[in-house]
Amino acid sequence: MQRTFLAWGSLLAMLSVAIGAFGAHLLKPIIDADSLKVYETGVQYQMMHALGLILIALLIGQWGGSPRLRWAGILLIFGIVLFSGSLYVLSISGITILGAITPIGGLCFLAGWLCLSLEAFSRKTGS
């Protein structure tokens, strides 16, 4: 589980840089400013949550695995796919119905961070 989340976090962080560069250099002249802002929001959230996955991997190494940490990682991955992915497609395609998927990704983010928080609060002092 630790290696899996570290690998996914690192891969998704790398893709965030690549996707951001693609947007800055190739999409900027093609899409309007509002769409570019939507795209950049997807990039920012992807990077933040990829780093969250790396944090979860490190905590698994420190604390050991647990169902809450596992769910935290899984939910952050789903959140990236649904939230950031829908924003990328929405900003490039203009298909506004995809905006209905974005909040589901946001809920995955919230649930993932809640799982991490609950795990931290359940730990004994000093561990």
Residue 79 is assigned to a structural domain of this protein:
yes
Residue 81 is assigned to a structural domain of this protein:
yes
pLDDT given for residue 125 in this prediction:
65
Residuewise pLDDT in 10s, the chain (127 residues): 899 999 999 999 999 999 999 988 888 889 999 999 999 999 999 999 999 999 999 999 999 999 999 999 999 999 999 999 999 999 999 898 988 999 999 999 999 999 999 999 998 765 5
Cα 24 to Cα 108: distance, rounded to the nearest angstrom: 27
Query: Which element (helix H / strand E) includes 82?
Result: none
Residue 10 is assigned to a structural domain of this protein:
yes
pLDDT given for residue 126 in this prediction:
59
pLDDT given for residue 98 in this prediction:
85
Backbone angles phi, psi at 95, to 5 degrees: -75, 100
Residue 26 is part of which domain span?
Answer: 2-122
Residue 18 is assigned to a structural domain of this protein:
yes
User: C-alpha 7: how far from its chain's center?
Assistant: 14
Q: Which of 125, 33, 110 is nearest to 72 (CA)?
A: 110
> What is the number of domains present in the chain?
1
- Report H helices in 25-84: 33-63, 67-79
Residue 127 is assigned to a structural domain of this protein:
no
Question: What six digits make up the tokens of 80?
Answer: 């990236």
